[in-house]
Amino acid sequence: MPSPPDTRKRARSPAPADAPRRRRLGRVGRTRLLIFLAVMGPGLITANSDNDAGGITTWSVVGAHYGYQLLWVLLLITPILAVTQEMGARMGVVTGKGLAALIRERFSLKITAFAMLAMLIANFGTTVAEFSGVGAAFSLAHVPPYACVPFVAFGVWLLVTRGSYKRVERVFLFLSALYVTYFVAGFLAHPDWGKAARHTVVPSVTPTSIWLLTVIAAIGTTITPWGQFFIQATIVDKRISIKEYAYTKAEVFLGAVATDLVDFFIVVACAATLYKHGILVNTAQDAAKALEPLAGRAAAFLFGFGLLNVSILAAGILPLATAYAICEAFGFESGLDQKFGDAPVFNGLLTFFIVVPAAVAIIPHLPLVKVMLLSQDVNGILLPIILIYVLKIINDRSVMGDHVNGRVYNGIAWAFSAVLIALTVVLVASTLPLPFGL
């Protein structure tokens, strides 16, 4: 006969003494993660969008021409990018206003108008370059620009004029995640990791004017004036509170590291293949073509796909940055949650800065290099001015209250800004004609 079931209560093993503490820490950890995910967006999107068609081209050329030698520049750029964008994010959270609005209130309307005019010129040229990047990426599949650029432009226009802030942010975050293609391409190129690590921490200097201009251009493609306007405007549009700011600050720093890691893998991919075989390129499109016989079709495809992705992302963000700044500067309604009729100037600027640059980008034999050079020069002139405005505003207690820069942080910010100002002045001066035919 079967034995009767044992009805005695089994003694439970005693719970660990620190079990309540572990559960509490687990709940706190999950809460913090959820808050971070909720505020995530402005920092990562802004930093990644700095790696646009021009940026990818610059770092591809750096890797092809100098190999691993300039990787140390990325170690220099990362804290500069983090510091400058953190200040913009903090001003947006504390004041609830965009950078252009603060410049108008703190300084004169004439200064604001000059800054906006310079930014319009620079952003127009850069947006043309982004749509040209779309055409260049599709040309790798033998699709002409006139057959692809208008459709991409229409899709970008629909997104930014008909979508809500949350929808636009999700799309931009998805496109930002696709930058992982450059990580994969870098591994497929089988670089010399030991040499790459050494050149990352040990500066290698070649005292020539071409080398200096290359370093300055590399820095200039990563830190942009429109990025300062965009991150602050999106912080305001997302309505991030001061209580949530610690998470936003972490995201800004994470974005700076992520965007420069992308550049790192672009450089090592080109250094391990193009530089190693003495193949010089002038564009990211050329780099993608040249990679195929050296690193395989997969690496070439990922490089070309990456070019398309970064071009689309920046083609959406640059018009937004422009529309935000102009509307803030002159007091027009703005915001992605605003309907077309409620914010006609904002949406009109978005439409203009998508349709016209896309139309220019499909013009045959467009002197793209000259367009990019002009926009780079204007950015070089504008960036030091914007940084000075930012530092003056963020140290004004009547504006920032107790959230002004601390002494140590302020010293670091001014030092970085001074170096950046000096480099951009050299860059702009190098493109100007010498007097008396020298």
- Residue 32: per-residue pLDDT: 63
The helix (H) or strand (E) run that includes residue 76 is helix 71-95
Q: What is the pLDDT of residues 90-141, one digit of tens each?
A: 999 999 998 988 998 888 888 888 888 878 888 888 898 889 888 888 888 8
Angle of helix 180-188 versus helix 284-295 axis, rounded to 10: 40
Nearest to 239 by CA among 92, 101, 33: 92
- Please report whether residue 314 resides in a domain: yes
Tell me how far apart the alpha carbons of residues 170 and 76 are, in angstroms, rounded to a whole number. 30
Under DSSP, the state recorded for 396 is: -
Q: How confident is the model at residue 74 (pLDDT cuts 50, 70, 90)?
A: very high
- Please report whether residue 438 resides in a domain: no
Beta carbons of 325 and 119 less than 8 angstroms apart: yes
Q: What is the pLDDT of residues 62-72, one digit of tens each?
A: 898 899 999 99
- Please report whether residue 8 resides in a domain: no
How many domains does the structure of the chain reveal?
1
What mean pLDDT, rounded, does the chain reach? 81
Range of the domain at 266: 38-432
Q: Which amino acid is at 236?
A: V
Q: What is the pLDDT of residues 207-240, one digit of tens each?
A: 777 777 777 777 777 788 888 888 998 888 888 8
Looking at 120-265, which runs of residues are DSSP E strands? none
Q: 325 to each of 20, 84, 129, 206, 271, how far by Cα in Å?
A: 50, 17, 20, 39, 38
Tell me how far apart the alpha carbons of residues 362 and 322 are, in angstroms, rounded to a whole number. 22
Pull the structure tokens for residue 110: 């004439």
**How far from chain centre, in Å, is Cα 210?**
25
Tell me how far apart the alpha carbons of residues 278 and 261 are, in angstroms, rounded to a whole number. 24
Average pLDDT of the segment spanning 356-373: 78
Q: What is the pLDDT of residues 7-50, one digit of tens each?
A: 554 545 454 555 555 555 455 455 666 655 566 667 788 878 87
The helix (H) or strand (E) run that includes residue 370 is helix 368-394
Nearest to 421 by CA among 360, 375, 379: 379
CA trace torsion 361, 367, 370, 373 (10° rounding): 40
Q: Where do runs of H (alpha helix) occur along 243-342? A: 245-270, 284-295, 297-330
* Domain of residue 93, CATH code: 1.20.1740.10
The helix (H) or strand (E) run that includes residue 235 is helix 225-238
CB neighbour burial string for 408-418, b if at least 16 within 10 angstroms, e if fewer: eeeeebeebbe
- Please report whether residue 177 resides in a domain: yes
- Please report whether residue 343 resides in a domain: yes
Contacts of 263 by beta carbon, 8 Å cutoff, 6+ apart: 51, 55, 59, 74, 222
- Please report whether residue 29 resides in a domain: no
- Residue 409: per-residue pLDDT: 77
Q: Give the 3-state secondary structure of residue 324.
A: helix
Q: What is the pLDDT of residues 322-347, one digit of tens each?
A: 999 899 888 888 888 888 778 889 99
- Please report whether residue 26 resides in a domain: no
- Residue 210: per-residue pLDDT: 76
Least confident of 47-56, 61-70, 306-315: 47-56
- Please report whether residue 68 resides in a domain: yes
